[in-house]
Amino acid sequence: HLFGKYLGICFQIKDDIFDYFVNKEIGKPTGNDMLEGRLTLPAIYALNTTNDEWAKKIALKVKSRTASLEEINELTQFTKQHNGIEYAYKKMNDCREKAICMLSNFPDTEVKAALIAYVNYVIERKN
């Protein structure tokens, strides 16, 4: 149960990180989550660790789906500049370690190795 929870969190955080970078292979544009009114872990961290009123106003506009593309791009850059991406990577790797730890009581089998490989794939995937 907990293995799946941590694996799912890893997958979601990786998906959140993708939204901050242009990558045609992913199939969704940069800032798509914000366009849909969602603030994800990187932006939430950046907003919660600064007292930038401008960024907080833009975040409210994002949540109400009234932010312009320019404002979304600016909030994306703000998030990058205020370590939101680095924080998300750290949390994702923490969850990776927790997921693998959940398997520590199981014998070393091909199934266990495959589960560990899958966690690593989720972390390292390019799209």
Q: Which residues contact 86 (CB under 8 A, 6 or more apart)?
A: none
67-78 CB burial, b ≥16 within 10 A, e <16 = beeebbeebbeb
Average pLDDT over residues 62-85: 96
Asked if the model's pLDDT at residue 127 lies above 80, the reply is no
Average pLDDT over residues 17-39: 81
Average pLDDT over residues 92-113: 96
User: What percent of the chain shows pLDDT beyond 90?
Assistant: 87
Residue 38 corresponds to which tokens in the numbers above?
């969602």
Asked if the model's pLDDT at residue 123 lies above 90, the reply is yes
CA distance 13 to 90: 10
Average pLDDT over residues 52-79: 96
Average pLDDT over residues 81-102: 98
Q: Map 70-101 to HEC letters.
A: HHHHHHHHHHHHCCHHHHHHHHHHHHHHHHHH
Asked if the model's pLDDT at residue 26 lies above 60, the reply is no
Average pLDDT over residues 91-98: 98
Residue whose C-alpha is closest to residue 34's, from 1, 72, 6, 4: 72
On whether the CB atoms of residues 22 and 31 are closer than 8 A, the answer is: no
Which domains does the chain carry? 2-124 (1.10.600.10)
CA distance 64 to 40: 15
User: What percent of the chain shows pLDDT beyond 70?
Assistant: 94
Asked if the model's pLDDT at residue 28 lies above 60, the reply is no
